[in-house]
Structure 1
Amino acid sequence: MEYRTLGSTGTKVSELCFGTWRFGKRTGDVLETDRAEAHELLDAAWERGINFIDSANVYGNPNGTSEEYIGDWLSDHDREDFVLTSKVYFPFDGWGEPGPNGSGLSRTHIRNQIDGTLDRLGTDYLDLYYIHRWDEETPIEETLDALNGLVEEGKVNYLGASTMAAWQLTKALWKSDVHDWERFEVTQPLHHAGYYEDVADYLDVCADQDLAVCPYSPLAGGFLTGKYERADSDDPQAVAGPDGSRADFDDVFGDYYASERGWKVLDAIREVADEVDATPAQVSIRWLMDHDDFTCVPIIGARTTEQLDENVGACDVDLTDEQWDRITDARYRDGDTLWGH
């Protein structure tokens, strides 16, 4: 495992970030990752050199479970060895039915949430605190001022932004510059080789402002692992997968991850994977890691140590420029026309 400087900060993180959104998560009657399994995965991630751990206050059922699992595990380790993240925006069900100030990015909600996050993680500071979404109802100045206060108090080292439009990110950065507040240093968009939406403008902002990019769902919910097949040549959202796979219990899988663009890209990924003796998952993750306009640290998740090992194997994959371009070019139909959904 090698380490990369996180954007324009001075902090070094592993080439991959370990995501914990499945910790304590229930999908129907299925508990995806219990406490013992979470600790086993954290052990495995740390043994493989991953020092970057991603969470959010609303991960797990009830919310906060993911942070609690991490905090319990971290109590047996040196806190300073790790770069910890969490997020704020959504209603936190530990507070019961959310009231009028129970969500969003107001100073009130941010202040109400940060101490709970720190308590559950068993730490007195976060390395990185993301806003989980853009808040249309709160002036961005109020949000940034509140977050800047957390940095000044030593509760947070760096700020990050997850999932917003390019113009919103640009506005927030400009407001930070004007008011001399801490700015967003890291972004966390949904981004993978086969994504059916175009995030080029967003990534251009990140490159121009030297922001680190930590894409979530780098394997498109498992779509880019290659375990799914197209079930209907006329319908890109018709997917056939193994029993018990995400496509079986996730109602939005076909709508959200499977697209005409996705299938074209998956074909190219499979081809390249055969050439470099790697799995489609490893090639998909490597494609993200090899962005050269900005620091890109994909967030990988895993239900088993075997899946974790496969994902970490992306660090040992080498793609030529031609192979990287071939995967990128598969997104396009004719010239600069992107395949649609």
Structure 2
Amino acid sequence: MEYTRLGSTGTTVSQLCFGTWRFGRETDGVVETDREEAHELLDAAWERGINFVDTANVYGTPHGTSEEYIGEWLEDHDREDFVLASKVYFPFDGWGDPGPNDSGLGRKHVRAQIEGTLDRLGTDYLDLYYIHRWDENTPIRETLRALTELVREGKVHYLGASTMAAWQLTKALWTADVDGLERFEVTQPLFHAGYRDDITDYLDVCADRDLAVCPYSPLAGGFLTGKYERVDEDDPTAFEGPEGARGSLDDRFEDYYLSERGWHVLDEVRAVADELDATPAQVALRWLIEQPNFTCVPIVGARTVDQLDENVGAVDLSLSDEQFDRIVDARYDEAGERWGHRT
């Protein structure tokens, strides 16, 4: 495993982050990753050098299950070996029906949720605390003040922002600068090789302010693993894939990942993979790791140890400038126009 500095912070993390959103999550009454499987995956991640683990208070069924699985596993490990990230924003169903202050980024909800997260994880502090969404109903100044208090109390080391517009990120950074508050040091957008131009402005802000980028769904929900095949030249949403794969189960798969742009990028990713004797998944992850303008640490959500091993193989690859640029250029047609996307 190789390691990198997390943006402008003094913390060093593995080049891949292990995501745990499937831990304890029930889909159609079936738990995607149960406790035993979760602990096996955490063992495998640690044995392969991954020290960065991402979760959220609302991951799992019921909410908090993912954090509980991680906390139980950490009892047999040295907490200081790991960089732990969690999130706050959504209603936490452990309280039953949410009340008027049981969601969002107001001081009351933030203060309540950090205590539950720390308790479930069995730790005194978080290395990284993300706001899971932007709260239109709470002034960002209030949110940043509440989060700054957590940093100064030693309950949180760094702040992060997940899923927001470029202008919102800019506003938050400006407010932190003007008011002398802790700023967001890490971002977590949806970002992968087939999606890059949709968030250009956002990534430009990250590069300018030296923020680390930890993209979720770096393999486009499995699309960039190469396990799906296009079946209609005129319809980019028509595909075949393995039975039970995410594409056949997730209604969002078509809207988020299937596009002319995606298929052209996948073709180039496959070509580069053949040249490197690698898999498409490894090339797609390496393309993110090698982003030239900001630290990029993809969050991988492997469901099996074999998948995790494949993901970790990305660390050992190296793309030439020509290979990197070919993947970028695959998003454009012969006239230089960007291929369309449904979103």
What TM-score comes out, normalization by structure 2 length?
0.98
CA contact (8 A) 1:91 1:103 kept: yes
8 A Cα contact 1:196 1:262, kept in partner? no
CA contact (8 A) 1:19 1:301 kept: yes
Partner of 1:284: 284
* Equivalent position SS for 2:273: helix
Post-superposition Cα deviations, 1:23-81, rounded to whole Å, max 9, x if no partner, equal: 00111122110000000000000000000000000000000000000000001000000
Which residue in 2 is equivalent to 1:44?
44
Aligned to 1:201: 201
Q: CA deviation at 1:334?
A: 4.5
Alpha-carbon offset, residue 196 of structure 1:
7.5
- Cα distance in 2 for partners of 1:250, 1:231 equals 19
Aligned to 2:118: 118
CA distance in 2, matches of 1:202, 1:163: 10
Specify the code of the residue in structure 2 equivalent to 1:229. Answer: E
Q: Percent identity?
A: 76
CA distance in 1, matches of 2:169, 2:80: 30
Secondary structure of 1:40's counterpart equals: helix
Give the conservation status (yes or no) of the 8 Å contact 1:186–1:212: yes
Paired residue secondary structure (2:198): coil
**Whole-angstrom CA distance in 1 between matches of 2:9 and 2:242:** 42
Q: What is the aligned partner in structure 2 of residue 106 from structure 1? A: 106
Does 1:128 find its partner at 2:128? Answer: yes
Structure 2 CA distance for aligned equivalents of residues 336 and 184 of structure 1: 35
What secondary structure, in the 3-state scheme, does the structure 1 residue paired with 2:333 have? strand
Match of residue 184 from structure 2: 184
Q: Match of 1:160, as an amino acid?
A: G
Instruction: State the secondary structure of the residue aligned to 2:53.
Output: strand
User: Structure 1: 5+ residue runs without aligned partners?
Assistant: none
* Aligned residue in 2 for 1:11: 11
- Which deviates the most, 252-261 or 55-64? 252-261
2:164 and 2:275 map into 1 onto residues whose CA distance is 36
Letter in 1 for 2:126: L
Number of aligned residues: 341
For the 8 Å contact 1:23–1:33, the answer to whether it is kept is yes
Q: Is 23-32 or 157-166 further displaced after alignment? A: 23-32
For 1:142-221, what aligned pairs fall within 5 Å after superposition?
142-195=142-195, 198-221=198-221
Letter of the structure 2 residue corresponding to residue 94 of structure 1:
G
Q: From the superposition, tell whether residues 127 and 281 of structure 1 become closer, same or farther in structure 2 (CA, over 3 Å).
A: same
CA drift at 1:251: 1.6
Q: Structure 2: how far apart are the matches of 1:2 and 1:196?
A: 24
Give the structure 2 partner of residue 63 of structure 1. 63
Distance, in Å, in 1 between the alignment partners of 2:85 and 2:100 is 26
- 2:4 is paired with a residue whose SS is strand
Q: For residue 73 of structure 2, what is the amino acid of its counterpart?
A: W
1:195 offset after TM fit, Å?
1.7
User: Greater CA deviation, 194-203 or 30-39?
Assistant: 194-203
Q: Is the 8 A contact 1:196 1:340 kept in 2?
A: no
Q: What CA distance in whole angstroms lies between the structure 2 residues aligned with 1:13 and 1:117?
A: 21
Q: Secondary structure at the match of 1:332?
A: coil
Q: Alpha carbon RMSD of aligned pairs, Å?
A: 1.0
- CA distance in structure 1 between the aligned counterparts of 2:335 and 2:313, rounded to whole angstroms: 33
Q: Which amino acid aligns with 2:52?
A: F
Equivalent in the alignment of 1:228: 228
Aligned-partner Cα distance in 2 for 1:7–1:336:
32
- Cα deviation 1:287-313 (Å, max 9, x = unaligned): 000001000000011111000000000
Matched, 1:254 2:254: yes
Distance 2:32 2:93 in 1: 19
* Partner SS state of residue 244, structure 2: coil
Distance (whole Å) between structure 1 residues aligned to residue 197 and residue 279 of structure 2: 24
Residue 73 of structure 2 aligns to a residue whose secondary structure is helix
Return the alpha-carbon distance in structure 1 between the equivalents of residues 30 and 239 of structure 2: 22
Q: CA deviation at 1:332?
A: 1.4
C-alpha separation in 2, matches of 1:90 and 1:170: 22
Instruction: State the match for 1:87 in structure 2.
Output: 87
- Normalising by structure 1, what TM-score? 0.98
Offset at residue 231 of structure 1 (A): 2.3
Question: For 1:246-303, what per-residue CA distance to the aligned partner results, in whole angstroms no more than 9, with x for missing partners?
Answer: 1121122112211111001000000100001000000000000000100000001111
Alignment check: 8 A CA contact 1:62 1:94 kept: yes
For residue 143 of structure 1, report the CA deviation from its aligned partner: 0.5
Gaps of 5+ in 2: none
Whole-angstrom CA distance in 2 between matches of 1:247 and 1:207 = 32
1:112 CA displacement: 1.3
**Secondary structure of 2:274's partner?**
helix
1:232 Cα deviation after fit: 1.8
Cα 1:119/1:190, change in 2 over 3 Å: same
> Which residue of 1 is the match for residue 141 of structure 2?
141
